[in-house]
């Protein structure tokens, strides 16, 4: 990133006995790199969910970096490599600072909305690094913005913004920003796909693109767990689903 960056860290290593929660055994911790959504910040998960309680309960270290509306993608023009930062540097840096397991199966990436896309994209791009991906209400918008016209505006962002983040939108599908392409590349390299937990609410504005990726994974025989049920694009749904996802991840 070529500058100072900020992230929040939860380390369940100092819980006193008698609270009814697991006390750290001293063994290296599993780690979850948890990404926020569009227009959010590295504080969102702490402010709006029970992630601190869940980190303690499941004995998982949680790291929450800032994505700054860049979809956790590398931007060569700006010299800001969010994908490299999230997928490699942050993992290596936190392993030096904290008592974390270096095992792939103990290293997870997750997120909501924009962060759900970032988790899928970087979990697949760095498949040798991450054993599990948690993707909630994922903004799998390459399906929607590929080939859009210059006057496009969906009420959230415009053609110029999407071009600045994703590059040439006529070449988006089939690029390293296309999750379908990344699944095929992981397999072509002979790597094991990370285990994937997806969830989306039936009233969510992103339901169609989540279903589309889910159906693609099914067509490829790519094992994953897909949860769909009542819920909107909000913290009530994400708070419930991050608990379910962590329960899935530790078992």
pLDDT tens column, 147-170: 999 999 999 999 999 999 999 999
Instruction: Give the pLDDT of residue 227.
Output: 98
Q: What is the pLDDT of residues 52-81, one digit of tens each?
A: 999 999 999 999 999 999 999 999 888 999
Per residue in 93-119, pLDDT tens? Answer: 999 999 999 999 999 999 999 999 999
Confidence at 5, pLDDT banded by 50, 70, 90: very high
Query: Mean pLDDT of all residues in the chain?
Result: 96
pTM: 0.96
Q: How far is residue 47's CA from residue 147's CA, in Å, rounded to a whole number?
A: 37
At 202-214, the pLDDT tens digits run 999 999 999 999 9
Q: Can you give the pLDDT at residue 162? A: 98
């Amino acid at each position: 990133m070529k500058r100072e960056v900020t992230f929040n860290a939860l380390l369940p290593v100092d819980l006193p006995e008698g609270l009814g929660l697991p006390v750290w055994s001293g063994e290296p911790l599993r780690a979850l790199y948890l990404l926020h959504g569009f227009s959010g910040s590295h504080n969102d998960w702490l402010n709006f969910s029970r992630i601190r309680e869940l980190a303690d309960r499941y004995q998982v270290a949680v790291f929450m970096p800032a994505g700054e509306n860049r979809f956790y993608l590398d931007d060569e023009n700006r010299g800001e490599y969010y994908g490299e930062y999230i997928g490699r540097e942050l993992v290596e840096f936190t392993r030096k600072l904290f008592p974390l397991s270096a095992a792939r199966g103990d290293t997870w990436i997750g997120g909501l909305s924009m962060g759900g896309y970032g988790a899928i994209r970087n979990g697949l791009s760095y498949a040798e690094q991450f054993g599990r991906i948690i993707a909630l209400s994922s903004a799998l918008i390459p399906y929607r913005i590929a080939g859009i016209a210059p006057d496009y505006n969906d009420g959230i962002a415009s053609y110029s913004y999407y071009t600045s983040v994703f590059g040439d939108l006529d070449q988006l599908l089939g690029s390293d920003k296309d999750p379908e392409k990344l699944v095929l590349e992981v397999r072509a390299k002979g790597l094991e796909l990370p285990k994937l937990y997806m969830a989306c609410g039936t009233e969510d504005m992103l339901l169609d693109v989540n279903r589309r990726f889910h159906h693609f994974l099914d067509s490829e025989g790519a094992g994953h767990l897909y949860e769909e049920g009542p819920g909107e694009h909000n913290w009530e749904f994400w708070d419930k689903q991050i608990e379910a996802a962590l329960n899935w991840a530790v078992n």
